[in-house]
Amino acid sequence: MLAGKRILLIIGGGIAAYKALELIRELKRRGATVVPVLTRAAEQFVTPLSASALAGEKAYRDLFDLTDEAEMGHIQLSRSADLIVVAPATADLMAKMANGLAGDLASTLLLATDTRVLIAPAMNVRMWQHPATQRNLARLAADGVETVGPDNGDMACGEYGPGRMAEPVAIAGAVEAALADGPLAGRHVLVTSGPTHEPIDPVRYIANRSSGAQGSALGRALVALGARVTFISGPASVPPPEGVTLVRVETAAEMLAAVEAALPADAAVFAAAVADWRVANAAGNKIKKDGSGALPSLDFAENADILARVSQMALGRPRLVVGFAAETDNLLAHAQAKRKRKGCDWIVANDVSPETGIMGGSENAVTLIDANGAESWPRMDKDMVARRLAARIAEALA
């Protein structure tokens, strides 16, 4: 899959550096040539010898490694690569990149190149959430740098949250997506998927039966066609696709924020089953029975309609906006009305009546609705629906 591709892997100085060694193996398993570059700080975590032994290539460490080579060695080193991957991309490395600093070999290579760059950020959750890092991230995205991760999870520092480096398999998937030459190569597609959870109190929530299966299948199909996919997922029961930039959210409000942060995109597909309402009087502490038999009562507030918001953006609207309509009666009429009301280009309508077994099942029967009419597809595997839809998206963006 990556045969003949040359990856320059810049290993930053963070505890996740050990996973970069696994990444070398993962990339090589897929046929790539991997040339490792270690920052000084990275050498505190892994040795150049292990990187070079796994890669089967010389591991570069500082600018002066290159003085015995051809003139302007660092420029050749960075330009000979098909892709530069920075993993782990520490807060410090991201700051250097965003500001064009070139004080060591890694940052010099990054500044001296016009090769595409993919970063896998890894840092403590507070560092990740710090406005300075978020500013640098936005700057890097505007410069065309692609990102994979970070994931949510337990971190080596004992905290929990976003900041953990994406798994090597996911990074390798993102490398493949970045280098793919399918019809969606170079396109950014945003996908929402899964249910949302709306808290009642810290331990209870309101959810729905969406498994995220159709969204995950769609993510995979888009990656297979070469798209760069930002996959924004509620708490789904199926795994997310490989090779996407995964953003995990819980509530509809978090999903909206994640969508806004991920734009611009060439196309956006809203496969998530977003809760229409949140609990307005959600309790900060667990609601207790007080012994009197009194029943709690919930007040609801309407959530923002993410699909409608994006469809109606005055500036920066994706060229193609696709919504899903889950209906239990009057499928076509409801879905057609929904397309108009929300302002999206296409609606993928499906009947989620319990007897269809579609919600949570492996098959789907959809009708694709656009401004010109409706087209019913036969019942088929969700993977097949996804591939067909991805192909149509590729046609529409061609």
Q: Which positions are annotated as active-site residues? A: 157
323 binds ligand CTP (CB under 6 A): yes
Query: Whose structure tokens read 């995205």?
Result: 141
Instruction: Provide the β-strand partners of residue 247.
Output: 232
Q: How far is the CB of 254 from ligand CTP (least distance, A)?
A: 12
Q: Which positions from 241 through 270 interact with ligand CTP, judged by CB under 6 A?
A: 252, 270
H or E element in which residue 363 lies:
strand 363-364
368 binds ligand CTP (CB under 6 A): no
The two most distant CA atoms of the chain are separated, in Å, by 84
Selected from 190, 191, 232, 274, the binder of ligand CTP by CB under 6 A is 274
Choice between 243 and 323, CB closer to ligand CTP: 323
Q: How far is the CB of 349 from ligand CTP (least distance, A)?
A: 9
| Residue 147 DSSP symbol | E
Q: Which positions from 17 through 46 interact with ligand CTP, judged by CB under 6 A?
A: none
Instruction: Provide the β-strand partners of residue 255.
Output: none
10 binds ligand CTP (CB under 6 A): no
Choice between 48 and 212, CB closer to ligand CTP: 212
305 binds ligand CTP (CB under 6 A): yes
Query: Whose structure tokens read 């009666």?
Result: 329
Task: Supply 308's token pair.
Answer: 């409608």
Selected from 143, 276, 375, 381, the binder of ligand CTP by CB under 6 A is 276
Cα separation of 131 and 21, whole Å?
30
- Which among 31-39, 165-173, 305-313, 379-387 is the span making contact with ligand CTP, rule CB under 6 A? 305-313
Selected from 303, 311, 350, 364, the binder of ligand CTP by CB under 6 A is 303
Instruction: Provide the β-strand partners of residue 281.
Output: none
Choice between 149 and 323, CB closer to ligand CTP: 323
Complete DSSP assignment for 47-63: -HHHHHHHHTSPPB-SG
- Which among 167-175, 320-328, 357-365, 378-386 is the span making contact with ligand CTP, rule CB under 6 A? 320-328
- Strands (E) across 100-206 are located at 117-121, 146-147, 151-154, 160-164, 188-193, 198-201, 204-206
3-state helix, strand, coil in the chain (%, to 5): 35, 25, 40
Selected from 20, 93, 325, 393, the binder of ligand CTP by CB under 6 A is 325
Q: Which positions from 333 through 352 interact with ligand CTP, judged by CB under 6 A?
A: 338
236 binds ligand CTP (CB under 6 A): no
Q: Would you put residue 187 in left (φ > 0), alpha (ψ -120 to 50) or beta?
A: beta
- Which among 104-112, 118-126, 145-153, 298-306 is the span making contact with ligand CTP, rule CB under 6 A? 298-306
Selected from 326, 359, 366, 368, the binder of ligand CTP by CB under 6 A is 326
Selected from 307, 320, 359, 390, the binder of ligand CTP by CB under 6 A is 307
Verify cis geometry, omega within 30 degrees of 0, for the bond prior to 88.
Answer: yes
User: Residues 171-190, buried b or exposed e (16+ Cβ, 10 A)?
Assistant: bbbbbbbbbbebbbeebbbb
| Whether the Cβ atoms of residue 220 and residue 182 lie closer than 8 Å to each other | no
Compute the chain's Rg from CA coordinates. Answer: 23
Q: Which positions from 163 through 202 interact with ligand CTP, judged by CB under 6 A?
A: 192
- Which among 68-76, 84-92, 209-217, 322-330 is the span making contact with ligand CTP, rule CB under 6 A? 322-330
The footprint of ligand CTP (CB under 6 A) covers: 192, 252, 270, 272, 274, 276, 303, 305-307, 323-326, 338
